[in-house]
Structure 1
Amino acid sequence: MRRPRWIGVLLVCLAIAGIFAFLGKWQLARAVEARQVGPQITETTRPLHEVLVPGKAIANNRVGQLVTVSATTVPEDYTLIQGRDNNSGSRGWWVVAHAVVSDGPDAGAHLAVARGFTASRAVAIATQHRLEASAPETLDLAGRIQPTEPPQQPQDSLDGDPPMMKDLAVAILINHWTGLGDSPRFFEAYLVATNHVPSGLKPIYAPAPIQQKSIDWLNAFYAAEWAVFAGFAVYLWYRLTRDAWEREVEDIEAASAQASDHPIDTQKVD
């Protein structure tokens, strides 16, 4: 193994193993990159009708998508959602509007819009009452679209204030909305608006979705194959040198047997 010839073969095998290892690393990266979803899709603002169809659930790779939509609010249908965390360390209330899409292919479809946050219960109730007493607003809204949450029955108010929901569930909201008509079309998702925040409220914290990655197992299998090939390149050098050594030992033993009738002690062969 220390002879120059076999050292040269070792260097060649190590170079081949390095190439195989690089290919395996590249294949493993492809196994992850091929299935990425998240910000590379969601951070391109699109019209709502290109992302979501009324009556259908939002696709996983569209959750958190930035969208725009023109809609008109229905003042009497404002709702409060309690127990919301706005990335401030304290929980508070969302003020949620019932809006009707005013133009485009989904005109007339109903959409829940989370318009703002407050940590004060009194401010939330006062804002709700003020918005309910205002005229309908036609707004060019922008924000992130989120899937509807599992429905839970709202808690009854004990002091005359409107009931407060804990989850923004469209299935519950439509039971409280007015003017839906006989066959209403509504989105099974809600919009977290980033503009047109009512006075007295703060914008709702709406970060980009966390980058998600999943494994393409076929590419991962190819990466494992390249690792095996890299190991085999080094093993091949070992096998070749050992075979050469064994042939030399056999030749020495054969020559010694011809020169002497006594068996040769192979343990003394270098």
Structure 2
Amino acid sequence: MEKVRLVPLLLGLLATACGAAVPEPSTPSLLASSSYGGASSAFSAPSGPSIPSHGDTRGALVVRPDLACVPFVLRVELADPKAGLDLLEKATLALKERFGASTGGAATIAMLGANTTAAPAYTKVKDDKPPPAHFVVTVDGAVEVPLAAEAGYWARAKLVAGLVEASRKEDALVPSGGEGAPELEVAFGAPELKLRDPESHRAELVKRWVERARAFARVAESQTAPLHLVACEPPNAITQTPISLEQVGLALPVSCRIDVSSLPR
């Protein structure tokens, strides 16, 4: 038997551009942030649609997302952990086929974390012998679908709809082994649209930050006390903020101090 859930997923920006390793194997939770989460509205009925909140923080640079992804986690408990990994591998291949059918074969699978832990023992057997060992095996990853640059709003909306539909299918990923067979648990996050390689925009983000900092310095400085950038730390990783189906905001956190330059003696 297989359980399918659509639950929130804790997300980090990793090299695969979507999804993060699940730190707690006993809780298969995925976190997906979506710009369509829905904000409360005083003008809509409780049972009616609410106006989505797209956020006010747009970032220093707004670009078109080129990747759609759906985070997922698979978990099974059984006596042989290697057999569990074999089962989860088959389920992952089935996931690729399922999402491929809804995306014209464009879906790929990016695997992230894997975890095997001993399951707690709940019962005792005869003669007070310890129960046979069981293990909880968990893997997680993301379904990834590239977004064509020319794909407009409606094409992207249909793709997202197909991803949601595929994540809600009830049919089993792998054939049931009958009564007593291990139970496969599946959880999906909501589709996310983002940029696969935000680092390609680092030079432009640095340029824009320097221009804004220099503009501020020119306004704030006096003729006798010119201001300059001093004590700059290395820039951090680029952050992404989803805005819409066709926009994602990029920002580059930079830590510098603007101070009066030293005057020659």
The TM tier, using the shorter chain, reads under 0.3
> If each structure's helix is expressed as a fraction of its own residues, which one has the higher value?
1
> Normalising by structure 2, what TM-score?
0.24
Compute the TM-score of the two structures, normalised by the length of structure 1.
Answer: 0.23
